[in-house]
Structure 1
């Protein structure tokens, strides 16, 4: 029988990447508290995974609900994954304040509230790991992304901030920035074969990422193998955020320039 490694909390666990992260956590031996505003989805996930998963309807923007759900755990979580997120895409000139606030509240404030509630319990237990899901949109801005880019960039800085404040309590805080992942909120984008081909062609590794790619990185950051890793953001993106010059056309002659081209 696999030894249980303690409790994990996964937010936004009802569907997409969150559900896959939850399955990976259960496979790793955690007992998972799967949180989502979609009660039906997390109930179905918990039924699928059995006693190793407890599904609970939690709105991560509701401070009282978050604190109550965290207090209901029988012990401090060893791993917390802040995956809950929303998108409200559109040009900034037309973006409503309501849509701006929705993205900031869920993506940023929700990450803060869940992390703080977890940290309060982790401190008493001697530590733990928190993994925040950001995005490559938080590393490289994208047009027409509404508040998503700003909120995900803020998650990266919040990750660093929490890691510095809580590090001496044994709490490691890191972020994962998924790239072009064919899962979750991005599935409708890649449903168009032409768009899929164009986007996939921009990725240096030549393929779209999967929810499993993200989940594997999350599990590494939450594990003892990453015991000396904190305040970091790992882009799970096939190299796309580093690809400004990828496939950039240039004349073949510059591949063999000699001393005459030396500008020192």
Structure 2
């Protein structure tokens, strides 16, 4: 039920952290994956390590998105799975102190780029008889947040994008879902992992009392991409160790 043999995929932001784990998870189940990030050297290195094609792509560049989809079709013969993972946190702080240029960049990378890439990819996935699109949202898009406001706003938009696209493309056999990770141990979260006060507070709010791993997000993505998730669409699947539902006990 989790077999992806013969399937072709794009994973954006797939040179490290969650994106790389997702790409590796899809590959382990038999998929061919175009590795992508905005850094050409990182993209080439990771693509070589995984034995997959690589295509550098700034997701805010329309021409680069065209080239990314074209590379998947040229190298893999088509497209069945799209994972929109590329994103940035932006500058922390309350809305009252918002840097509007930073706000615009966060929204452009985290949300607008997903709309643009989906507009290019979904018709191609539908033409292959259907497939799966996975958008990476965040727990922060489901809770109030006083520090990463633009990020949280963009990720709430991603979850709504999944619902809208699921309605639009479901009749054509394309399933669209979002994943909302909680606190995941990655290179980017290393400073927080080293902050004892933060970790004590955050783990007290998490029933499983530990951070998640990129591989656990990858497992969720494999489920959504595979026949096992074949009747799941329009969902924002929360993978957070229980942080969203806890009363802090």
Interval of TM-score (by shorter of Structure 1 and Structure 2): over 0.9
Cα deviation for residue 49 of structure 1 reads 1.1
Cα deviation for residue 184 of structure 1 reads 4.3
Q: 2:83 aligns with which of 67, 81, 84?
A: 81
Cα deviation for residue 41 of structure 1 reads 1.4
Alpha-carbon contact 2:136-2:179 (below 8 Å) kept = yes
Q: Provide the rounded CA distance (Å) in 1 between the counterparts of 2:122 and 2:150.
A: 27
Alpha-carbon contact 1:76-1:118 (below 8 Å) kept = no
Residue 10 (structure 1) aligned with residue 11 (structure 2) = yes
Unmatched tracts of structure 1, length 5 or more: 248-264
Q: 1:195 aligns with which of 192, 195, 198?
A: 198
Cα deviation for residue 16 of structure 1 reads 1.2
Residue 59 (structure 1) aligned with residue 58 (structure 2) = yes
Residue 90 (structure 1) aligned with residue 93 (structure 2) = yes
Q: Provide the rounded CA distance (Å) in 2 between the counterparts of 1:198 and 1:172.
A: 37
Query: Match for residue 68 of structure 2?
Result: 69
Q: Provide the rounded CA distance (Å) in 2 between the counterparts of 1:208 and 1:6.
A: 31
Query: Match for residue 261 of structure 1?
Result: none
What secondary structure is seen at the aligned counterpart in 2 of 1:57? coil
Q: Provide the rounded CA distance (Å) in 1 between the counterparts of 2:6 and 2:110.
A: 28
Alpha-carbon contact 2:111-2:154 (below 8 Å) kept = yes
Cα deviation for residue 202 of structure 1 reads 1.5
Structure number with higher relative contact order (C-alpha < 8 Å, ≥ 6 residues apart): 2
Q: 2:220 aligns with which of 199, 217, 237?
A: 217
Query: Match for residue 158 of structure 1?
Result: 161
Alpha-carbon contact 2:205-2:243 (below 8 Å) kept = yes
TM-score by length of 1: 0.88
Return closer, same or farther for 1:3/1:122 CA change in 2, 3 Å cut-off. Answer: closer
Query: Match for residue 103 of structure 1?
Result: 106
Query: Match for residue 24 of structure 1?
Result: 25
- How many residue pairs get aligned? The number is 243
Query: Match for residue 259 of structure 1?
Result: none
Q: Which has the larger radius of gyration?
A: 1
Q: Provide the rounded CA distance (Å) in 1 between the counterparts of 2:248 and 2:196.
A: 22
Q: Provide the rounded CA distance (Å) in 2 between the counterparts of 1:171 and 1:85.
A: 23
Alpha-carbon contact 1:135-1:178 (below 8 Å) kept = yes
Cα deviation for residue 178 of structure 1 reads 0.2
TM-score by length of 2: 0.93
Return closer, same or farther for 1:3/1:171 CA change in 2, 3 Å cut-off. Answer: closer
Alpha-carbon contact 2:4-2:226 (below 8 Å) kept = no
Aligned pairs for 1:241-260 (under 5 A) are: 241-243=244-246, 245-247=247-249
Query: Match for residue 260 of structure 1?
Result: none
Deviating beyond 6 angstroms after TM superposition, the runs of 4 or more aligned structure 1 residues are none
Return closer, same or farther for 1:204/1:3 CA change in 2, 3 Å cut-off. Answer: closer
What CA RMSD, in Å, does the superposition of the two structures yield over aligned residues?
1.5
